[in-house]
Amino acid sequence: MFGYAGKILFIDLSTRVVKMIPTEKYTKDFLGGRGIATKIAYDMIPPHVNALDPDNILIMMTGPLTGVAPSSSRIDVVSLSPVTNLLGGSSAGGDFGAVLKFAGYDGIVIKGKSKKPVGIRIIDDEITFHDAEACWEYNVYDTVDCIKSLGREDVQVACIGKAGANLVKMAGISFSKRNLASRGGLGAVMGSKNLKAIAVAGTKGIKVSDQEKLLKYNFEIESTLIKSPSFKKYENWHANISPALLKAKRPYFGDYEEDFWEDAEEAAKNAKHFFEEMAVLKPNSCFACPLRCWAWIEYKGEEAPMVACQGTFPAIIFILKIKDPELAWKVYLKLQREGMDIMSTAAVVAYASTLGLVKLGSEEVLTLIDKIINREGSGNVLAEGIKKASEHFGVPAVYVKGGMESWSSDIRPFRGIALAAAVTESGSISRAIHGFPASSYYTKPEKAKKVAKKIVGSEKAAEPTNYEGKAALVVYFENEHIIADSLGVCDTPLLSIPLDLWSASYTAATGISMRVEELHFLAGKIRTLERMFNVRRGVDRNRDIISPRFFQSVIRSGPWKGVKIDRDAFERMKSEYYSLRGWDENGIPTDETLKKYGLEW
């Protein structure tokens, strides 16, 4: 096969059986990455298992463009999420996906549970299991160093830290030391399988269909990225993202407080100062990407890589209300080293502050995070996720669909984000509405209006608090994200480059003809399949919800003074969304829709 590696590795950890699934079986209908992973999850995960059961399946899939086109290094991770017990998904960049393809595999499917902690090593055709008892409680950094020192230095490692081993529901899967598939608690799934790490090195490479054309289109994509005006800004992104988010009026503070945090401006300024003056940054990129959106950051002898675009550092300073950048850096180091989802952990710690378990903005935050990782005392309850904790303590919390912790954007003023948070199947902002016009409405109004006009035909749809046209925008951006995740392209560059260039690159690499309309059709199909997965587990309109606290909360001060979500308007958006997707009023895909996509039961 061209473009694809050709086979998917299937490993049953209970029996240590290793099998191969031909990728060709899925490519025509589900493209790759997220699409194929969802199909495999749909076929292989029985409707009644729980996320931490051995019968749950962990799927890591690369796309056809992973390692083949610029800015394409993504690997998509899909499984049953232990946070929501529904479909869970997250994706990561870095080099792991590309190297996995160089080793000859499009993806890895893991089933069962090992009796003892185990690590898997994949060197081309050689797949070996290794005892991981000794490093079971290591953090991500020590695990990666340990695995690299045990033989080949050039392996790429996917692993979990201590949080994942302790089945903490905010644990992600870390790819080497920097890229995390963090949302949905997938690290706990890996931990429940007693799987500590997967190491990959490959020498086989990827065959392509049309070498000349691929080089041509890749060059075109790359030069478009380099010539775009925002390319230069990436260098200072770490410093500028906190003030920029504040300017876009996006962050929320503490446990979704109604009052604006007075020190927010100062905290953002401190963060900017930290990255500009105090720390040393060395810009870096994922495989074949010119954007250098992450950097190695060194400060006082401690170092860590940080991806700017996900807004992890701003999430720490705004949600945990930390003015002192040094403390924020310490929190970042801890979470990154343990391979934890920063947004979720910050939300849980902020919730704990309303219970009086911690004082935000102080060193106590670090102690509480340690408690969560080690599941000590109250940390044991908090480690179960925000919804379970709120049921335990009886104090209402803020969460999105299925009980997942909220995103780093405030949901109350952003209607589109609220809708996406309720209807999403896998509960992550980077799987739904990254690049949404409302997000940049206050920083780049002209561009936001233009995008909204192009997609729904009305500039008003770009306004955050407007309910009109939001359903259509959510459908459009969900589709774009599905295309990105399925092709293996990072969503930021995918959104900023015409889709026909990506489809041309896909055709040159794989030899399979692909038009833009077909990509959109496949995106709709994959979205409906994701829906069917959850429908099978009992999801309908009544479970497409955000926590009731959102509807009671009225913002008291700051730029959004007086704003609240209206429940009726919210329900109307949902209905509009369902009809655009071809689902019935109850949120179940209709027979015609299933027939159109060829997804009949």
Partner 1 sequence: MPYLIVHENRCIGCHTCEMVCSLSHEGVINPDLSRIHVIGYKGEKFPIMCLQCEDAPCELVCPMEAIHMDGNIRVVDDDKCIRCKMCTLVCPIGGVLYDYISHKMIRCDLCGGDPQCAKYCPMDAIEVVPDEGVPESRRRGVRVLYGEAD
The residues binding partner 1 (CB under 8 A) are 67-68, 70, 95, 98, 102, 202-208, 211, 214-215, 218-219, 222, 225-226, 282-290, 292, 295-296, 298, 303, 305
Q: Could you give the CA distance from residue 183 to residue 509 in angstroms, rounded to a whole number?
A: 30
Q: Which is nearer to partner 1, 231 or 442 (CB)?
A: 231
Question: At closest approach, how far in Å is the CB of 426 from partner 1?
Answer: 28
Q: What beta strand segments (E) does 149-201 contain?
A: 156-159, 173-175, 179-181, 195-201
Comparing CB distances to partner 1, the nearer of 439 and 505 is 505
CA distances from 340 to 76, 124, 294, 523 (A): 17, 30, 17, 29
State both tokens at 573: 């958006």
- b/e map 242-264, b = 16+ CB within 10 Å: bbbbbebbbbbbbbbbbebbebb
Distances (CA, A) of 561 to 244, 418, 423, 490, 543: 20, 18, 27, 35, 29
Least distance from partner 1 to the Cβ atom of residue 72, Å? 10
In whole angstroms, the minimum distance from the beta carbon of 181 to partner 1 comes to: 20
Q: Which is nearer to partner 1, 51 or 225 (CB)?
A: 225
Q: How do 118-123 and 17-22 pair as beta strands?
A: unpaired
Contact 67, 102 (CB under 8 A): yes
Smaller CB distance to partner 1: residue 143 or 553?
A: 143
Distance in angstroms (rounded) separating the CA atoms of residues 440 and 449: 10
> Is the Cα torsion angle 14, 17, 20, 26 positive or negative in sign?
negative
Quote the distance between the C-alpha of residue 450 and its chain's center: 27
- Name the residue with tokens 């704003």: 563
Q: Which is nearer to partner 1, 216 or 247 (CB)?
A: 216
Least distance to partner 1 from the beta carbon of 226, Å? 6
Q: What is the dihedral of CA 286, 287, 291, 294, to 10 degrees?
A: 10
Number of Cβ within a 10 Å radius of residue 309: 17
How many angstroms separate the CA atoms of 306 and 294, rounded? 5
Write down the least CB distance from residue 67 to partner 1, Å.
6
Q: Supply 197's token pair.
A: 């790490």
| Between 59 and 304, CB nearer to partner 1 | 304
- Residue among 492 and 528 whose Cβ is closer to partner 1: 492
Between 204 and 536, CB nearer to partner 1: 204
Least Å distance, CB 218 to partner 1, is: 8
Shortest Å, Cβ 289 to partner 1: 5
Q: With respect to partner 1, which residue has the nearer C-beta, 221 or 456?
A: 221
- List the structure tokens of 96: 């792991």
Of the pair 205, 498, the CB lying nearest partner 1 is at 205
d(CA 538, CA 216): 48
Between 41 and 225, CB nearer to partner 1: 225
DSSP-assigned states of every residue in 499-515 = HHHHHHHHHHHH-----
Output 220 or 364, the one with its CB closest to partner 1. 220
Residue type at 590?
T
Cβ of residue 271: shortest distance to partner 1, in angstroms? 20
Q: Which is nearer to partner 1, 283 or 445 (CB)?
A: 283
Q: How far is CA 337 from the centre of its chain?
A: 18
Q: How far is the CB of 230 from partner 1 (least distance, A)?
A: 14
Q: In 3D, which of 312, 326, 317, 308 has the Cα closest to residue 266?
A: 317
Token pair in block for residue 247: 């300017």
CB of 23 to partner 1, least distance (A): 16
Minimum distance between the CB of residue 560 and partner 1, rounded to whole angstroms? 38
* Collapsed DSSP state (helix, strand, coil) of residue 306: strand
Q: Report how far apart, in Å, the C-alpha atoms of 25 and of each of 8, 31, 105, 263, 489 are.
A: 10, 10, 14, 55, 22
CB of 567 to partner 1, least distance (A): 47
From the CB of 285, what's the least distance to partner 1, in Å?
4
DSSP strand pairing (75-80 vs 58-62): antiparallel
Residue 370 contacts residue 168 (beta carbons within 8 Å): no
